Amino acid sequence: MAKISVFGIGYVGVVSAACLAQDGHEVIAVDVDTGKIKAINEGRSPIVEEGIEELVRQVVKDGNLTATDDFEQAVLNSDVSFICVGTPSSPDGSVGLEYVISVCENIGKALAKKKSYHSVVLRSTIVPGSTEEACIPVLEENSGKVAGEGFGVGYFPEFLRESTAIADNYAPGLIVFGYLDEKTRVILEKINGSLPCDMHQVEIKTAEMVKYTSNTWRAVKVTFANEIGNIAKASGIDGQTVMEILCSDEKIAMSPYFMRPGFAFGGSCLPKDVRALKYLAGSTGTKHHLLSAVLEANEAQIAKAEKMVIDSGETKVGFVGISFKPGTDDLRESPLITLAARLIDKGIDVSIYDPFVQQAFDNATPGAGRGNDDVPDLEQRMVYSLDALLEGSGTVLVGNHYGETVERLKKAAGERPVVDLTRLARDKTSDDRYQGICW
């Protein structure tokens, strides 16, 4: 078993660290956030995710997972470091590398004091060429060593979906990693050896590109499905039926999760990754019609939902869901946050029911409400029950699908205006009171 340090205690870092610890590796989680460090060392998860609280509690109890803010000691006491910090978009759409570079500087300084071989593996989403052109020079400058000789380098992208991250870790649809040196390749091969999936071992740039291609493809599929849904509805056709038939063709391996007409895509990956790939294309003089169209069409879907709410004529709107997808409290680039903020700016009173965001606030989870830069007084707008939301709302906007709310919302659709962005049930189609965004 390996000794592993994981830099960045966010979604990817926490899940990766906990799963590696469960596999028997000795794991040190590293961050500058003292709240997250304290939570892990007390056996608590700093994020809301299915099964993560119990997993963190167990691996901390077993002594396989600890957390610290001491970068140097983490490197000196591990064989390989995984970098899992965020890469937010820069104002021009390019990928933001400031957190990655900062971590590389600190790891490089620690490597200067380390006599044994150590591998540095990037897991953060970075555009092709970033590891070799940005990260390796920083590591070499601060360590005084040569990459591939004095220390190892790899790129091992994650494909974890929030709300199903632990299950995805143990049943991945794709494993790919790039490596600069043989020792790093061997480490990554051993770590992934027991997983039921082929390992694609490639050059670092290829692995970086696979990650962006995967995320951009998901974004393209969401937008494509919405366009078909909008065209189908205008033609008197059920767009979801059209897409379900298309997805039945397994030869083209389409994921029905994304090929489903509905609302805009959001979250911490898809929006910024499409922007970054678009910026990369522009920087090389390559045309990027589709990438531009994806972002324009996604924005149009938010504008369409806004108009549907305004057209309902009500001044009090209750949101069912505010996170970027059900099953998580993550608000980063949630299109529902954007929609709520626009409605509030127009003088509409917005209240929100979201059990996962509410859980994060109730538990005072580090980072509760993270990603919300637009909705004022978010916590005060939250209501604890669906019935309370319905009682205080004119129009109800269904943004996220929660199974336990379906029957109550179907009944409400006969009593008041309902704008549905996710589709409560297949037997619901637009009528006088109920409006589905694509059906």
**How high is the pLDDT of residue 264?**
97
Q: Which residues sit opposite 151 in a β-bridge? A: 147
CB 400 within 8 A of CB 356: no
Percentage of the chain surpassing pLDDT 90?
Answer: 94
**Overall average pLDDT of the 139-153 stretch:** 98
**Overall average pLDDT of the 185-210 stretch:** 96
CA max distance for the chain: 73
**Angle, helix 52-61 to helix 11-22, in steps of 10 degrees:** 50
183 marked ligand binding residue: no
216 marked ligand binding residue: no
Sign of the CA dihedral with 403 first, then 404, 405, and 406 last = positive
**CA-to-CA separations, 245 to 78, 100, 145, 250, 260, in angstroms, rounded:** 50, 43, 56, 10, 11
CB 63 within 8 A of CB 55: no
CB 78 within 8 A of CB 113: no
31 marked ligand binding residue: yes
Phi, psi of 286 (to 5 degrees): -90, 135
Beta-strand ranges (E) seen in 227-283 are: none
**pLDDT over 90 (residue 354):** yes
Residue 296: CB atoms within 10 A of its CB come to 10
Q: Which residues sit opposite 4 in a β-bridge? A: 27, 80
151 marked ligand binding residue: no
**How high is the pLDDT of residue 249?**
86
**How high is the pLDDT of residue 377?**
95
Instruction: State how far the Cα of 207 lies from the Cα of 177, in Å rounded to an integer.
Output: 6
Instruction: State how far the Cα of 310 lies from the Cα of 306, in Å rounded to an integer.
Output: 6
Instruction: State how far the Cα of 169 lies from the Cα of 18, in Å rounded to an integer.
Output: 11
Instruction: State how far the Cα of 208 lies from the Cα of 206, in Å rounded to an integer.
Output: 5
Residue 367's pLDDT band (cuts 50, 70, 90): confident
**How high is the pLDDT of residue 254?**
66
Name the percent of the chain in helix, strand, coil, to the closest 5. 45, 15, 40
**How high is the pLDDT of residue 253?**
55
Checking DSSP bridges between strand 349-353 and strand 316-320, what pairing results, if any? parallel
Q: What long-range pairs does 430-437 form, CB within 8 A, spacing at least 24?
A: 430/233, 435/308, 435/312, 436/233, 437/229, 437/261, 437/262, 437/263, 437/301, 437/304, 437/305, 437/308
CB 421 within 8 A of CB 397: yes
**Overall average pLDDT of the 389-394 stretch:** 97
**How high is the pLDDT of residue 231?**
92
**pLDDT over 80 (residue 255):** no
Q: Which residues sit opposite 154 in a β-bridge? A: 121, 179
Q: Which residues sit opposite 199 in a β-bridge? A: 175
404-433: pLDDT as tens digits = 999 999 999 999 999 999 999 999 999 999
Q: Which residues are catalytic?
A: 269
CB 359 within 8 A of CB 329: yes
36 marked ligand binding residue: yes
Write the CB contacts of 411 (distance below 8 Å, at least 6 apart in sequence). Answer: none
CB 264 within 8 A of CB 335: yes
308-335: pLDDT as tens digits = 999 999 999 999 999 999 999 999 999 9
- Which residue, among 144, 57, 133, has the nearest Cα to 94 in the 3D structure? 133
Could you give the 3-state DSSP secondary structure of residue 223?
helix
* Mean of all residue pLDDT scores within the chain: 95
Q: Answer yes or no: pTM beyond 0.75.
A: yes
Tokens of 166: 């632990």
Instruction: State how far the Cα of 267 lies from the Cα of 208, in Å rounded to an integer.
Output: 20
Instruction: State how far the Cα of 321 lies from the Cα of 336, in Å rounded to an integer.
Output: 8
Count, in order, helices (H) and strands (E) of the chain.
18, 13
- Neighbouring C-alpha atoms within 13 Å toward the C-beta of 1: 11
- Which residue, among 201, 217, 208, has the nearest Cα to 127 in the 3D structure? 208
306 marked ligand binding residue: no
**pLDDT over 70 (residue 259):** yes
Percentage of the chain surpassing pLDDT 70?
Answer: 99
157 marked ligand binding residue: no
Instruction: State how far the Cα of 209 lies from the Cα of 205, in Å rounded to an integer.
Output: 6
